[in-house]
Amino acid sequence: MLTSRLFWKPFVYFSALIVLVGLIGGYTTSRWQKEQLTDQLKQRLRNTAISLEDVTKKSLLSGEFENLQQVIQDIRTLTTTRITVVALDGVVYADTHKNPNKMENHSNRDELIQALRNREGDSQRYSDTLNISMLYYAFRIQHQGKTLGCVRCALSTSQIDIQVADIQARIAELVFIVVIMGLIITGLVIFRMTRPVVRLIEEARELTTAQLGQTIGHGFDDEISELGRLLNELSSALADRMAQLEQNHHELLTVLEGMDEGVIAVDKNERIRFANEAVCEMFALDLERDQGRPIWEVIRNQMVEAIINQAKKTNAHFRGEIELLGPPTRYLALNASAIPTEEDDDFGVIIVMHDITEVRRLENLRRDFVANVSHELKTPLASIQAYAETLIDGAIEDQNNNRTFLGRIVEQSERLNMLIQDLLSIARVESNTQANEYAVINIAEVLDSCIKYHQPRARKKEIALEVLAPGEVMVFGETEGFRQILDNLIDNAIKYTPERGRVQIDIKTQDEQVFLRVHDSGIGISKDHQQRIFERFYRVDKARSRELGGTGLGLSIVKHLVNAFGGTVDVTSNPDEGTAFLVTLPLAGSGQATVSVG
């Protein structure tokens, strides 16, 4: 409180006013007391002069002044009053303090001039005769309407000065006491008056520093107290509003940080104001380091700057797309919108970035799939059409070749049927239509059935099929799906293994998992192709694959089915050293067997 300007300003003003009033009061009282003493002294001199009127008149009429001189000397002895008798022409006839014959003419004395004009007069001046300050009073002496002269009485004013000085000292003490008491009372009153105001100021300051929700009691039932109550209500309301805003801000940041899409906001000067974690990951940003920097210093991409400028110019939604060179290469779709700033004539921009890399990849896969399917369907259809047209044109009558042509048609029809069946299998796996048919099955029995089916082909190529599996290995899945997995892996192993080769199929269980391994001694696969062999229609050697009758969908079906059964498939291979496919599946009852598929 004592450091508050609100206290000191009125205190200084009121203190100055009190001191000024005290000084004026003391000066006025002192002057009034001096005037009272002077008037009393004048009255004393007047009484003395009037008492000498008769004797003075006799002396002026007779011209004898010895008796008068004796009378005024007696009076001087008793009253210390100086008495002077002056004729009409200013000649001094008698005086108590000096020889009248040696005194100068007094016709020019103010008190005498006033007395001759108005019967009485007075003045205060320094006496050259006595060398002291004197108060003079003159009374006109008349006889039968004729002025004879004047009697003048005078006293020193030193006694007045002494008395006035004493009175002034007492008045000064009183004024000092009154001023001190006034200052103390003023300080207490101002303190009591300004204390609630200062507390209101502190509360308002707390509002500006976001220290909300605190209330202050003011102790008075007046307008200031009412203002305090209103500020308390305002503080409480602002506290609730700020808490809500803080919660909304936190929720918004949580949403923005949790978005897969990148969000970045720039101000009207294209300086970064906000960027969520997704944007920081996309462009290797550090928000603490890069916040406030121009975006074109951080993200060096012409398209970003172009869409920001376009959005600011048109004040509308604007879209664009950029490519981030890898590895791996990424594609981003940008959506920029202008956001108003504090100045209505300029705008900031918020940019939402969608990673469409996967969309682009799927589009490419779709295009490749359509192209591959078209190509794969076109080849057998073209062969069927060619052989059929040849037969129609007369080859049906050719007993040596007509059966050969019909055999080719049947062969291409079977190839076409295989392709369609594989496409249906992929569609069925991807749509999860077989999910309701899942059950616990013995994979060893399915393997035994597959081995019996492929054994004739293996014997034809003199390939040894070696199987190492326990009698019972239970997994969770679909019998037909596991049959397709084993058929495709074993078929590929036999297909790409030269004559008199070897194909090994092992099934092991360990740590609640089933390991199915199909290893052949075939031509192998180079490292460059191993990452793509599970793609649809991908072939390492297209000519050889078509020659062997492959559709290019087998391994893709294997991967989809294994994933649907909650497992993984890996390949290890080296050219001319054979290939090994390892399928890992959860053992039924291990807690992983009922994994959600798809």
Backbone angles phi, psi at 553, to 5 degrees: -115, -10
SS3 112: helix
Strands 502-510 and 464-468: parallel
Q: What whole-number distance in Å separates Cα of residue 552 and Cα of residue 569?
A: 17
Whole-number pLDDT of residue 224: 66
Helix (H) or strand (E) holding 357: helix 357-392
Whole-number pLDDT of residue 595: 34
Q: Which residues contact 16 (CB under 8 A, 6 or more apart)?
A: none
Whole-number pLDDT of residue 272: 84
Q: HSE of 17 in the Cβ direction (CA atoms, 13 Å)?
A: 8
Among 32, 33, 73, 37, CA closest to 52: 73
Q: What whole-number distance in Å separates Cα of residue 467 and Cα of residue 517?
A: 10
DSSP string of 360-397, one letter each residue? HHHHHHHHHHHHHHHHHHHHHHHHHHHHHHHHHTTGGG
- Whole-prediction pTM: 0.44
CATH of 52-156, one of 3.40.50.2300, 1.20.1050.10, 3.30.450.20, 2.30.30.90: 3.30.450.20
CATH number of the 360-426 domain: 1.10.287.130
Kindly list the distances between the CA atom of residue 94 and the CA atoms of 89, 150, 151, 381, 566, in Å, as whole numbers in the listed order. 14, 11, 9, 171, 150
Report the amino acid identity of residue 595: V
Q: What whole-number distance in Å separates Cα of residue 61 and Cα of residue 333?
A: 137
Return the biggest CA–CA distance within the chain: 205
The torsion region of residue 145 among left (phi > 0), alpha (psi -120 to 50) and beta comes to left
Domains 52-156 and 259-349 share a fold: yes
CATH number of the 259-349 domain: 3.30.450.20
- List the chain pLDDT tens, one digit each, 598 residues: 556 666 777 778 888 888 888 888 888 888 888 888 888 888 988 898 898 888 888 888 888 888 888 888 888 888 888 899 999 888 988 988 888 888 888 888 898 999 989 989 999 888 777 778 888 999 999 988 888 899 999 988 877 778 778 887 888 888 888 888 888 888 888 777 777 777 777 766 666 665 555 555 555 556 667 776 777 777 778 778 878 888 887 887 777 777 778 888 888 788 888 888 887 877 777 777 888 888 877 787 778 878 788 777 776 677 878 887 767 788 888 888 887 765 555 678 888 888 888 888 778 777 777 777 777 777 778 888 888 888 887 777 777 777 888 888 887 787 788 778 777 776 776 666 555 567 888 988 999 999 998 899 899 889 888 998 888 889 988 888 888 889 889 988 898 888 889 999 999 988 889 999 999 988 888 887 777 788 776 766 654 445 555 566 778 888 888 888 889 999 998 888 889 999 999 988 654 333 322 2
At the fourth CATH level, the homologous superfamily of domain 432-586 is Histidine kinase-like ATPase, C-terminal domain (3.30.565.10)
Q: What whole-number distance in Å separates Cα of residue 149 and Cα of residue 116?
A: 8
Among 401, 361, 376, 407, CA closest to 545: 376
Q: What whole-number distance in Å separates Cα of residue 15 and Cα of residue 18?
A: 5
Q: Domain boundaries in the chain? A: 52-156, 211-258, 259-349, 360-426, 432-586
Cβ count within 10 A of residue 260: 7
Q: What whole-number distance in Å separates Cα of residue 109 and Cα of residue 113?
A: 6
Whole-number pLDDT of residue 138: 93
Whole-number pLDDT of residue 346: 61
Q: Which residues pair with 95 in a beta bridge?
A: 84
